[in-house]
Structure 1
Amino acid sequence: MSDSAAAAQQIAEQVRAQMLAHDTVLRTLGITVDAIGPGSARASMTVRADMLNGFAICHGGLVATLADTAFAYACNAYDELTVASGFAMELFAPSHEGDVLTAQANELNKSGRTGVYDIEVRNQRGQRIAAFRGRSYTMKGRPVIGGSPVTRGT
Structure 2
Amino acid sequence: MTEPTRTPQQTAEYVRDGMLANDNATKGLDMRIVEVGPGQATIEMRVRPDMLNGHATCHGGFMATLADSTFAFACNSYNELTVASGFSIDFIAPAREGDVLTARCHEVSKAGRTGVYDTEITNQRGERIAMFRGRSYTAKGRPAVPAVPA
User: Structure 1-normalised TM-score?
Assistant: 0.90
- Code of the aligned partner of 1:49: P
Q: Distance in 2 between the 1:71 and 1:104 partners?
A: 9
The residue aligned with 2:120 is 120
The residue aligned with 1:17 is 17
Q: 1:97 to 1:147 in 2, by over 3 A?
A: farther
Q: Distance in 1 between the 2:45 and 2:102 partners?
A: 7
**Do structure 1's residue 135 and structure 2's residue 138 form an aligned pair?**
no
Summarize deviations over 1:24-74 as a string: whole Å, max 9, x none: 111211111111000000011000000000000000000000000110000
Q: 1:116 to 1:38 in 2, by over 3 A?
A: same
Q: Distance in 1 between the 2:40 and 2:140 partners?
A: 19
Shift of 1:146: 2.0
Q: Any idea what SS the aligned residue of 1:116 has?
A: strand
What is the count of residue pairs matched by the alignment? 143
Unaligned 5+ segments in structure 1 are 1-5, 149-154
- Code of the aligned partner of 2:45: M
Q: Distance in 1 between the 2:95 and 2:145 partners?
A: 35
Matches within 5 A, 1:2-151: 7-146=7-146
Summarize deviations over 1:110-148 as a string: whole Å, max 9, x none: 000000000000000000000000000000011022279
Q: Distance in 2 between the 1:140 and 1:75 partners?
A: 13
Alpha carbon RMSD of aligned pairs, Å?
1.3
Q: Distance in 2 between the 1:10 and 1:145 partners?
A: 13
The residue aligned with 1:152 is none
Q: Distance in 1 between the 2:99 and 2:13 partners?
A: 27
- Code of the aligned partner of 2:42: R
Q: Any idea what SS the aligned residue of 2:68 has?
A: helix
